[in-house]
Amino acid sequence: MTTQVLSHNQRSFAAPLRAMWLTLLAVLLMLAQALAAQARIPESFADLADKVSPAVVNITTSTMVAARGGPNPIVPEGSPFEDFFREFRDRQGDGDRPRRTSALGSGFVISEDGYIVTNNHVIESADEILIEFFPGDGQPPTELPAEVVGTDPNTDIALLKVTTDQPLKYVSFGNSDTMRVGDWVMAMGNPLGQGFSVSAGIVSARNRALRGSYDDYIQTDAAINRGNSGGPLFNMEGEVIGVNTAILSPNGGSIGIGFSMASNVVTRVVDQLQQYGETRRGWLGVRIQDVTPDMVDAIEGLDTARGAMVTDVPDGPAKDAGILQGDVILSFDGTDVEDTRRLVRKVGSTEIGKTVRVVVLRDGQTETLRVTLGRREEAEGAMPAAQPADPEEPARVEMLGLTLAPVTDALRDELDLGAQVSGLVVMDVDESTEAYEKGLRAGDVITEAGQEKLESVSDLQDRVDAAKDAGRRSLLLLVRRAGDPRFVALSLDD
């Protein structure tokens, strides 16, 4: 048996090495404990609820509504039901007079001087708004009247103001973009008129769209019911990361699918309402549609379904900057455009009057244009511009599963097209073809093919031949129905 003996120098080197390893191990253990603590389910939400609850309010509204009207039940004279219906009407009161109704909702204070955020639908058309505060510490609830500072129906957000001599407890907005699916959240409000209530859950999904152009909802399974509308959704730091707005339910009650408008949308709206009393969104001045996979092959220079296809350019910022119908917007103000929804939200949140760079794909090449944004609210009624053209004599033809004829004065009158519309009218559609599957119908007007204007049947045939010569498998058509344009890609396979 041999014995290994360490020299003095070896022992001197081993001691600090051992100490270093022990220190590193201790750090790793502390880090593991910290991560484990973060991953654990919170033991309680009580401290968080105590911290933020004084800023959460109940909202009661009252509205004067018109008389119910409508016919009274008809019963034969002398019928035993005659007395019953007379007594019923007496108990209900005079139905011919206006009456006052009330509704309940929730909200939260965002400043000590009394600004309150809620949903627009909570206070819409209200004649009187009362805010009920719960100060805590054993103090009784108090009520104050509120006035509407401004509303935004597009995001269903309203800003209210109460007048008070005492500073109010308030909460701050957090960054909703940092929330991840699975993060804990806590909802507060006045569900079903039962008074102050707290529920907890997780972020179930993000970037949900329900109904509007500016939607950016956080989906949560925290219980949200009627009366919770306008209440806050908190992260675990007590910051508001959403405004509880809607639920998905077959019966009107919570089934664990609730939606809160993301705070990063709400803060921009609230800032504008507070400053101007109204919203002021950027306006690019184009009509757009998503680029679908079947359109990719028909658009030169595009390899994936991305961007926003310009279907019309009315008078406005985009037209002034040189954006054309048929352009595909790939980038806006340095941000890649994935689809129309994200472009609309990005444009709407950009400052009015700002000059931005817009990258478009045109004829297989990218071009960068500079656009100075207008204000959307001032341009809501803008109509698309059209160029006049003289159609040729009628000559029907069957192509791509469609029976087509040039626009004539008779067709203008029949379809109410207007004097400036030119192109080919769809007279009939073969129901067994791709054209029918993609929604083309008799009465539609095809104004462009291959992103070039059509004036005659021969123009369309030329576009088909050119696309086939270029090796394309589909042709992009611009179709108008009741004045609304959209692009449709039809296969060229024989």
The more confident residue out of 235 and 135 is: 235
pLDDT at position 176, please? 94
CATH number of the structural domain 176-266: 2.40.10.10
pLDDT at position 204, please? 94
CA dihedral over 221, 222, 224, 230, signed as positive or negative: negative
Please state the rounded mean pLDDT for residues 225-247.
91
Q: What is the pLDDT of residues 135-193, one digit of tens each?
A: 777 778 889 999 999 999 889 999 999 999 889 999 999 999 999 999 999 999 888 76
Looking at domain 397-491, its CATH superfamily turns out to be PDZ domain (2.30.42.10)
Residue 9 is labelled as binding a ligand: no
Please state the rounded mean pLDDT for residues 98-126.
87
Same-fold call for 282-375 versus 397-491: yes
Q: What is the pLDDT of residues 466-492, one digit of tens each?
A: 777 777 888 888 888 876 788 888 888
Residue type, 443: G
Average pLDDT, the chain: 81
Residue 277 is labelled as binding a ligand: no
Compute how many other C-beta atoms are within 10 angstroms of the C-beta atom of residue 111.
15
pLDDT at position 459, please? 80
Region at 294 (left for phi over 0; alpha for psi -120 to 50; beta for the rest): alpha
Q: What is the pLDDT of residues 379-422, one digit of tens each?
A: 764 433 223 333 344 457 788 888 888 887 777 777 777 666 77
pLDDT at position 388, please? 33
Residue type, 487: F
Residue 249 is labelled as binding a ligand: no
- Considering the entire predicted model, what is its pTM? 0.65
Q: Which of 319, 373, 329 is nearest to 351 (CA)?
A: 373
The more confident residue out of 112 and 8 is: 112
CATH number of the structural domain 282-375: 2.30.42.10
Cα-based distances in Å from 198 to 100, 130, 138, 194: 30, 21, 18, 11
The more confident residue out of 206 and 417 is: 206
The answer to whether 268 touches 349, Cβ cutoff 8 Å, is yes
Q: What is the pLDDT of residues 338-352, one digit of tens each?
A: 888 889 888 988 989
Residue 8 is labelled as binding a ligand: no
- Taking each continuous run of H as one helix and of E as one strand, the counts in the chain are 11, 27
Cα-based distances in Å from 326 to 288, 309, 319, 363, 477: 9, 6, 13, 9, 10
* Burial annotation 73-107 (CB, 10 A radius, 16+ → b, else e): eeeeeeeeeeeeeeeeeeeeeeeeeeeeeebbbbb
Q: What is the pLDDT of residues 23-38, one digit of tens each?
A: 777 777 766 565 554 5
Please state the rounded mean pLDDT for residues 30-57.
76
Residue ranges covered by each domain of the chain: 176-266, 282-375, 397-491
Q: How far apart are CA 314 and CA 310, in angstroms?
A: 11
Residues carrying an active site annotation: 121, 156, 229
| First and final C-alpha spacing in the chain | 90
Residue 227 is labelled as binding a ligand: yes
Q: What is the pLDDT of residues 277-313, one digit of tens each?
A: 999 899 999 988 888 888 888 888 888 889 999 988 8
Both tokens of 451, joined, read 């992103």
pLDDT at position 492, please? 82
Q: What percent of the chain has pLDDT over 70?
A: 79
pLDDT at position 95, please? 52
Contact partners, residue 391, CB within 8 Å, separation at least 6: 406, 407, 408, 422, 455, 456
